[in-house]
């Protein structure tokens, strides 16, 4: 079926979960993987495996609402045969071999508010970035819809701005093979 003259091609289907409770780690995992593979129950099971003898599990919120730490994300990816590689912020982003990276998960400071009142507290928030059909997207679960970042230059600009704010950590989601060979790092 051909398109009418001047019609815009339909955008690709981009999987995007919206924020619920403190489940941003679960949403970031599913968003970077572009399908619902993890639930709160699955993340809680990972927490139990990570600290089987703990009454108060250090890998999640005491309230049971989520707020999972990086160990849960790394274990979830390992269970799928993937790896999470910490990006060394001292490196130039030009060294990042984006074609070898399945996606990125950022841990960012996030303001806390009660309604319209902003509190002087900072929480941490997990955000996924992923390329779909040649376009990189910000898949932050707090956004109403995915935000197109553009090509590799666009995602590098986004990462540079996030890293410049400080307190930002970047995880590269890669295959085990790419992790073992260090293929996520450009050598040229």
Catalytic positions are 24, 125, 140
- In Å, how far are 9, 59, 71, 103 from 171, measured between CA atoms? 32, 17, 12, 9
Question: Do the beta carbons of residue 23 and residue 15 sit within 8 Å?
Answer: no
Condensed to tens digits (0 to 9), the pLDDT of residues 32-44 reads 999 999 988 888 8
Condensed to tens digits (0 to 9), the pLDDT of residues 82-129 reads 999 999 989 999 999 999 999 999 988 776 555 566 555 556 888 999
- In Å, how far are 1, 24, 139, 163 from 31, measured between CA atoms? 31, 10, 6, 21
Mean pLDDT of 141-150: 93
Residue 187's pLDDT is what?
A: 82
Quote the mean pLDDT of the chain: 84
* Residue with more model confidence, 69 or 65: 69
Rounded CA Rg of the chain: 18
């Amino acid at each position: 079926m051909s398109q009418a003259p001047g019609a815009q091609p339909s955008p690709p289907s981009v999987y995007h979960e919206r924020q619920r409770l403190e489940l941003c780690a679960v949403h970031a995992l599913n968003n970077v993987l572009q399908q619902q593979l993890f639930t709160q129950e699955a993340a809680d099971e990972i927490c139990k495996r990570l600290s089987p003898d703990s009454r108060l599990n250090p890998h999640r919120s005491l309230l049971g609402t989520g707020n999972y730490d990086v160990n849960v994300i790394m274990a979830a990816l390992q269970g799928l045969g993937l790896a999470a590689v910490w990006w060394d912020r001292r490196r130039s982003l030009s060294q990042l071999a984006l074609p070898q990276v399945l996606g990125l998960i950022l841990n960012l400071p996030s303001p806390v508010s009660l309604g319209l009142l902003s509190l002087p507290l900072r929480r941490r928030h997990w955000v996924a970035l992923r390329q779909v059909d040649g376009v990189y997207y910000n898949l932050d679960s707090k956004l109403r819809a995915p935000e197109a970042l553009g090509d590799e230059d666009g995602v590098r600009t986004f990462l540079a701005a996030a890293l410049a704010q400080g307190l930002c950590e970047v995880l590269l989601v890669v295959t085990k093979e790419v992790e073992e060979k260090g293929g996520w790092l450009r050598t040229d």
